[in-house]
Amino acid sequence: MIVNCPQCKKPMSSVAPLCPKCGFARGDVTEEQLTEFQRRKLRDRIYHLKMTSYFAISLLLAACGWYWWESSDFSRPPSAVPIILVALGTVGYLVTRVLLFRAKKALRKLR
C-alpha cells in the first residue's frame, strides 16, 4: 500500500520503515537502515552533482569557443556575454567539485 509521508507528504510504501525522500522514520528503525538511507541520499547527491559539473564544464567550453569566435572578428566590439558565461561555468564547476569532494568524504565515513 502507498501512503503519504507525514513529514514531506511524498508517497511512500506503508511497509517501508523510512521515507525514501526525507528519511522520516515510521516506527522502529535500526541503525543499519538509517545508515543505508544516508548512503543512498549521498549517492543520489553525488550523481546530481556530477551531472551539474558536466553541465558547467560544457558551458565553460562553449563560452570559450564563443569568446574565441567573437574575438577573431575585429570589426565589432566583443560582447560581455561569453565572458560572463565563462565566469559562470568556472564558478559553477569549482563549486560542484567542492560539494562533490565533501559528499564523497561523507559517504566514505558511512562505510
Residue ranges binding Zn ion (CB under 5 A)? 5, 7-8, 19, 21-22, 24
Task: List the grid coordinates of 86.
Answer: 565563462
Q: CB of 6: closest distance to Zn ion in angstroms? A: 8
Q: Which is nearer to Zn ion, 36 or 81 (CB)?
A: 36
Pairing of strands 11-13, 2-4: antiparallel
Tell me the closest approach of the beta carbon of residue 70 to Zn ion, in angstroms: 48
Distances (CA, A) of 57 to 60, 68, 80, 83, 93: 5, 16, 19, 14, 6
Nearer to Zn ion, 7 or 90 (CB): 7
Cβ proximity to Zn ion: between 23 and 92 the closer is 23
